[in-house]
Amino acid sequence: MNKSILTILMLAIFFPLQAQEFRNVPILGEYPVEQTHEDSAFIPRMLLISNNKQLKDVWKKLKGGDLPIIDFKSSIVVASVRDAANPNQRRFLPRVRMGELEINILSTRIGFQPSTRTVTTLIEVSREGIRSFRQYDPKTRKYLITKLK
C-alpha cells in the first residue's frame, strides 16, 4: 500500500514538471527594415504585433518598403531593434512554455561605434498554442507579460 501511494506522489510531481518545459518554435519569416533611431524609438526592447492594423502602423512608422504579408490567424510577429552598425551575429530562439512565447537572442560580442540608424527585424512565428508574450525588462529586472489580442 505504501509503495502505491509513493508511486502516485512521484507521478503527481513528475508530470507537472514535464508540462512546464519549453518547446522550440520555428521561425516562419524574418523581415528586417533599416530606419533612423528616431523612427524606431517607439519600440521597446521587443514589441508584440498580433494583427494587421498593428503591423501596418508599425511598418509605416519604420518607413519600411513593401509590407510583409502575414496571416495573423495562424501567425504572430515580434519586432526587435538593434543599431545598424552593430556587426554582431544574432540568432533568434523563439520558445513556448505554458502558452507564453519568449524569444531569446543569442549574439556575439564585438564592440562597435553606434550609428544614427537602426535595423528592426520582424520575427514571424506560428500562433498555435500561444496566449501571451513574455519578455524580460532589464530596467525593472522583471518579466513583462503581454496577452494576445
Instruction: Answer yes or no: pTM beyond 0.85.
Output: no
* pLDDT at 5 exceeding the cut of 60: no
* pLDDT at 34 exceeding the cut of 90: yes
Instruction: Please tell me the predicted confidence (pLDDT) of residue 90.
Output: 86
The grid cell for 40 is: 524606431
Other Cβ atoms less than 10 A from the Cβ of 77: the count is 23
Instruction: Please tell me the predicted confidence (pLDDT) of residue 44.
Output: 84
Instruction: Please tell me the predicted confidence (pLDDT) of residue 20.
Output: 65
Helices (H), the chain: 2-19, 37-40, 52-62
Amino acid identity of residue 53, one-letter, is: K
* pLDDT at 48 exceeding the cut of 90: yes
Q: What is the dihedral of CA 23, 121, 145, 27, to 10 degrees?
A: -20
Share of the chain above pLDDT 70, in %: 87
Per residue in 75-95, pLDDT (tens digit) is: 999 999 999 998 888 889 999
* pLDDT at 19 exceeding the cut of 80: no
Instruction: Please tell me the predicted confidence (pLDDT) of residue 41.
Output: 92
Collapse the DSSP code of 113 into the 3-class scheme (helix H, G, I; strand E, B; otherwise coil) and give the result. coil
| Contact partners, residue 73, CB within 8 Å, separation at least 6 | 127
